[in-house]
């Protein structure tokens, strides 16, 4: 049985329609508000749907991870638009620079797997090996291309072995600049009659600054140009390097989010600066208080919220949600995906890693911890899970 036979477009349409229904259902929204009031009384830092800026977003906030990466090649206008069509509250962009200093949307500066660059003989000599944040990579890199050159390439599915259906859209879209996304968000906002929220990540900021291609200054300039630099602007700014969020906090007032990977890892700017702290140090009450001095939230890996045991099964939630909320920080963990390969072992179905598992069961466990939002490759699934949770409260 092929992947297409397991997951038909009709099923995706049903999920998308259900997600739209979730957003429009007054009973669900009322239940969500009641749940939010309870959480506010319990120490949650915000009440959704009230006030301005990120406090106006629903809780849990569903963030379209790289757009709707479960259904379209990531970081394309098609992926971003589909995330909105499925009902995502926020859409994510990752930013890397071109050689001439333009910010473009790619998860990594290595574009070997996400574009058709290997099919362009004129760029064959650009293939090289680089060390990025301590890791040696061989391929083609955005910082070796001008924007005009990059625009001759077409985007494609990053993991075609897992998401064969997404290859249908290979070559359909170019690599967007962040300015193009800002203009697109303005147009979509007018068309849909609401603000379009963005979740914007600076990728490898220390590495690029060492090349004379600092990310924060051109990003701040674009945010100011398009009116997204204020504290209540519909944008989050995120990075795995705390110093990048600190730098952005000096340039604009938009809320910052510090991303946190595995507990034993160290942010790369810490490595370069000789700072011995690990992520485990940053998720202590003292570390969270330090983050709260310049940021409004954290984006932890889901394992920091609910760790897995030696067999890959979900264990007991940590104190991270409680401790972060005590410092007034919101939590936007990453990343939910529907496929077995990405789910905890106790929520997989069958042995095919590309098949969908019990995504709703896993989401229930994560959302019950009180997180404020979640990054999802399948935002329609996450929205339905959030509606299930609201209906039970």
Could you report the per-residue pLDDT of 182-237, keeping only the tens digit for each? 999 999 999 999 999 999 999 999 999 999 999 999 999 999 999 999 999 999 99
Confidence of residue 12 (pLDDT cuts 50, 70, 90): very low
Is pLDDT at 3 greater than 80 in this prediction? no
- Alpha-carbon distance values, 6 to 68, 239, 352 (Å): 19, 36, 11
pLDDT tens, 282-303?
999 999 999 999 999 999 999 9
pLDDT tens, 336-365?
999 999 999 999 999 999 999 999 999 999
- The total of structural domains in the chain comes to 1
Element (H, E) at 379: helix 379-392
**Residue 258's pLDDT is what?**
99
Is pLDDT at 162 greater than 60 in this prediction? yes
> Which residues neighbour 6 within 8 Å (Cβ) at sequence distance 6 or greater?
352, 355, 356
pLDDT: which is higher, 26 or 222: 222
The CATH number assigned to the domain holding 65 equals 3.20.20.190
How far the first Cα of the chain sits from its last, in Å, is: 39
Confidence of residue 16 (pLDDT cuts 50, 70, 90): very low
pLDDT: which is higher, 114 or 12: 114
Range of the domain at 246: 3-392
**Residue 392's pLDDT is what?**
84
The Cα 321–Cα 43 span in angstroms is 10
Q: Comparing 34-38, 155-159, 351-355, which segment has the lowest mean pLDDT?
A: 34-38
Q: Please give the average per-residue pLDDT across 133-140, as a whole number.
A: 98
Is pLDDT at 331 greater than 90 in this prediction? yes
**Residue 213's pLDDT is what?**
98
Is pLDDT at 19 greater than 50 in this prediction? no
Residue (of 90, 18, 22) closest to 54 by Cα position:
90
**Residue 30's pLDDT is what?**
35
Is pLDDT at 29 greater than 70 in this prediction? no
The Cα 225–Cα 261 span in angstroms is 32
Is pLDDT at 5 greater than 60 in this prediction? no
The Cα 383–Cα 392 span in angstroms is 14
Angle at 250 between CA 247 and CA 256, to 5 degrees: 65
**Residue 393's pLDDT is what?**
74
Is pLDDT at 26 greater than 80 in this prediction? no
pLDDT: which is higher, 127 or 3: 127
Share of the chain above pLDDT 90, in %: 86
Is pLDDT at 133 greater than 60 in this prediction? yes
Q: What is the model's pTM? A: 0.88
The Cα 393–Cα 388 span in angstroms is 9
pLDDT tens, 41-91?
333 444 444 457 999 999 999 999 999 999 999 999 999 999 999 999 999
Q: What does the mean pLDDT of the chain come to?
A: 90
Q: Comparing 25-29, 152-156, 385-389, which segment has the lowest mean pLDDT?
A: 25-29
| 109 contacts 217 by C-beta, under 8 angstroms | no
Q: Residue 19's Cα: distance from chain center in Å? A: 19
> Can you give the C-alpha Rg of the chain in angstroms?
20
């Amino acid at each position: 049985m092929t992947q297409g036979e397991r997951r038909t477009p009709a099923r995706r349409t049903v999920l998308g329609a259900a997600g739209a229904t979730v957003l429009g259902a007054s009973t669900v929204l009322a239940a969500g508000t009641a749940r939010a009031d309870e959480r506010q009384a319990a120490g949650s830092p915000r009440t959704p749907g009230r006030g301005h800026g990120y406090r106006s977003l629903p809780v849990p906030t569903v963030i379209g991870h790289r757009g709707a990466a479960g259904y379209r090649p990531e970081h394309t206008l098609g992926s971003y638009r589909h995330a909105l069509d499925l009902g995502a509250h926020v859409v994510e962009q990752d930013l890397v620079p071109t050689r001439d200093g333009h910010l473009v949307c790619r998860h990594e500066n290595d574009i070997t797997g996400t574009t058709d660059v290997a099919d362009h003989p004129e760029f064959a000599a650009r293939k090289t090996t680089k060390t990025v944040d301590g890791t040696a990579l061989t391929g083609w890199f955005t910082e070796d291309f001008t924007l005009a050159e990059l625009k001759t390439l077409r985007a494609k599915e990053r993991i075609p072995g897992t998401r064969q259906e997404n290859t249908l859209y290979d070559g359909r879209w170019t690599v967007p600049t962040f300015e193009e996304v800002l203009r697109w968000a303005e147009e979509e906002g007018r068309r849909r009659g609401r603000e379009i929220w963005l979740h914007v990540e600076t990728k490898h900021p220390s590495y690029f600054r060492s090349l004379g291609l600092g990310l924060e200054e051109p990003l701040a300039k674009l945010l100011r140009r398009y009116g997204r630099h204020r504290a209540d602007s519909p944008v989050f700014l995120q990075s795995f390097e705390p110093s990048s969020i600190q730098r952005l906090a000096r340039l604009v007032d938009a809320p910052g989010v510090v991303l946190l990977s595995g507990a034993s890892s160290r942010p790369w700017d810490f490595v370069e600066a000789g700072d011995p702290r690990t992520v485990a140090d940053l998720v202590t009450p003292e570390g969270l208080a330090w983050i709260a001095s310049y940021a409004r939230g954290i984006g932890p890996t889901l394992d920091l919220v609910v760790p897995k045991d030696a067999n890959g099964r979900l264990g007991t939630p940590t104190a991270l949600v409680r401790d972060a909320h005590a410092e007034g920080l919101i939590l936007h963990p990453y990343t939910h995906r529907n496929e077995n390969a990405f789910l905890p072992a106790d929520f997989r179905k069958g042995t095919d890693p590309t098949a969908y598992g019990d995504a709703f069961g896993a989401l229930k466990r994560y959302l019950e911890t009180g997180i404020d939002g979640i990054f999802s490759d399948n935002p329609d699934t996450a929205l339905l899970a959030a509606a299930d949770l609201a209906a039970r409260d």
